[in-house]
Amino acid sequence: MGAWPRGLVQRPSQWVRTLSLAAERWGLVHTRVWSGPVGGWKPAVPRSSELWRHPEQCLTGIVLLHLPRSAFSSGPAMERQVQRLRQTFRSGRSRPLRFRLQQLEALRRMVQEREKDILAAIAADLSKSELNAYSHEVITILGEIDFMLGNLPELASARPAKKNLLTMMDEAYVQPEPLGVVLIIGAWNYPFVLTLQPLVGAIAAGNAAIVKPSELSENTAKILAELLPQYLDQDLYMIVNGGVEETTELLRQRFDHILYTGNTAVGKIVMEAAAKHLTPVTLELGGKSPCYIDRDCDLDVACRRITWGKYMNCGQTCIAPDYILCEASLQDQIVQKIKDTVKDFYGENVKASPDYERIINLRHFKRIKSLLEGQKIAFGGETDEATRYIAPTILTDVDPNSKVMQEEIFGPILPIVSVKNVEEAINFINDREKPLALYIFSHNNKLIKRVIDETSSGGVTGNDVIMHFTVNSLPFGGVGASGMGAYHGKYSFDTFSHQRPCLLKGLKGESVNKLRYPPNSESKVSWSKFFLLKQFNKGRLQLLLLVCLVAVAAVIVKDQL
């Protein structure tokens, strides 16, 4: 390269000094610093194939980190830490509403005060520009925290429950209560938001929590391990960093809920481990999210929105459109419009764009590249192993039985599969595992709702992609092979809460209660049916009560006269 990467300040000595100090402060084992177009990346230790990055890939000049093993990787040590959190939870410290709000405010303060450090870590892991890192991850966390701060008093309050005739004089309500100690296992593709957004719900619900960030996004994992103990109660909220060994030890422990974000294979392992303790799980998995484009559609708008959602984060988004279903006559138009949009978004040289990320590691790079073998590439297809760059790519005339259609792509490859009509598209979707997301583009709302009614998926967006994730009044989760359970907004609170039914009775009215005591009789059964099964029209019942009150009042007035 003959120039500094775009977005990097033109003062290399200052950057090297600043980043080295940051690395020293974070206690890193290995570092890489960008020293300019001649020197390139300077290692503090010999090159590592897993850590070495080309300057083109790290467009903002970030130190690369090597994540040290957790101090709690052994079984007894991990068990002691879980018990420590459980003891604090049992003390009742996390239950008061005021405490929960204070912790949420502290988390918000952490994001705001250490924004630059957080953005730098995300950028180093995924070669994101700071603007992309902020818009893809940080802004979502701030919105989630603000929602909880504004709605937590209502969410945590007891809700009155409907009563029957036998309990109409009693108090019946549902009281949300925290579950206990929960485990949150984050994902590497959006390492900040997919780790902290569930934590917001766990804190709001009054739980203690252990957070396990993905070891693949090691820079973000490292900064979270540094920052969370500075801002949150260390006896209730804990970070565990590491890889398979640490995660395995965590899963041996007993938790009151586990939320895992990642792939289906590991999701099965998590569920199997949880079953040993009867621990409920929320699994946010993935799948091949289809995108149907109807011929009655604004193709310019559809292709622009699909291009944005598919190639954002280099295709490494669990709800990115995985493939397109459309009539054969639309295929060439779609290819051309996506090509034009890619140029508008990323310029003539996509590889040099600060808005286009890279594949997380070499293993995923090789897996994605292998999906191109034997395919008809209508656009893109360029790869660079040294920088883990894969260009935005479109495949046409794709065989539904080919390898690229058998697994979630999780990369910037977009297959187009031809179908004759919407009926065939619906059957194509239903013949496969239920996806995490489904997208339909059409001017015809009846057609969109027909596809929704006749298919199943974790979520749906009509005439756009991904945007249902941003609405925190909607639950986010999968179904079938794409996961179970949901979170976001109030649904996060509900996921980490037990909805406890409460009925408070008085010690009077025993004449009615005798109906349920032995010995039984036909008369008792008849009265029980009346009290428990009789349905009343609420409006008429209120009118009857009003008439009775008027009659009683009339009698009282008459007596006084």
3-state helix, strand, coil in the chain (%, to 5): 45, 15, 40
The answer to whether 226 is a known catalytic residue is: no
Q: What is the mean pLDDT of residues 118-129?
A: 94
Q: How far is Cα 462 from Cα 298, in angstroms, rounded to an integer?
A: 13
Does residue 273 contact residue 285 with C-beta atoms inside 8 Å? no
Work out the number of other CB atoms within 10 angstroms of the CB of residue 76. Answer: 9
| pLDDT the model gives residue 54 | 36
Considering the chain, what percentage of its residues have pLDDT values greater than 70?
84
Considering the chain, what percentage of its residues have pLDDT values greater than 90?
75
Confidence of residue 9 (pLDDT cuts 50, 70, 90): very low
Convert the pLDDT of each residue in 174-221 to its tens digit: 999 999 999 999 999 999 999 999 999 999 999 999 999 999 999 999
Sheet arrangement for strand 497-504:
159-160, 171-178, 497-504
| pLDDT the model gives residue 523 | 83
Token pair of 503, please?
């009925």
| pLDDT of 387 higher than 80 | yes
Catalytic: which of 130, 218, 249, 284? 284
| pLDDT the model gives residue 547 | 72
3-state secondary structure 444-496: CHHHHHHHHHHCCCCEEEECCCCHHHHCCCCCECCCHHHEECCECCHHHHHHC
Convert the pLDDT of each residue in 527-543 to its tens digit: 777 777 776 666 666 66
| pLDDT the model gives residue 367 | 97
| pLDDT of 55 higher than 90 | no
Does residue 492 contact residue 201 with C-beta atoms inside 8 Å? yes
Confidence of residue 164 (pLDDT cuts 50, 70, 90): confident
Q: What is the mean pLDDT of residues 265-293?
A: 97
Question: Using CB atoms within 10 A of its CB, is residue 32 exposed (0-12), middle (13-18) or buried (19+)?
Answer: buried
Q: What is the mean pLDDT of residues 104-123?
A: 97
| pLDDT of 297 higher than 50 | yes
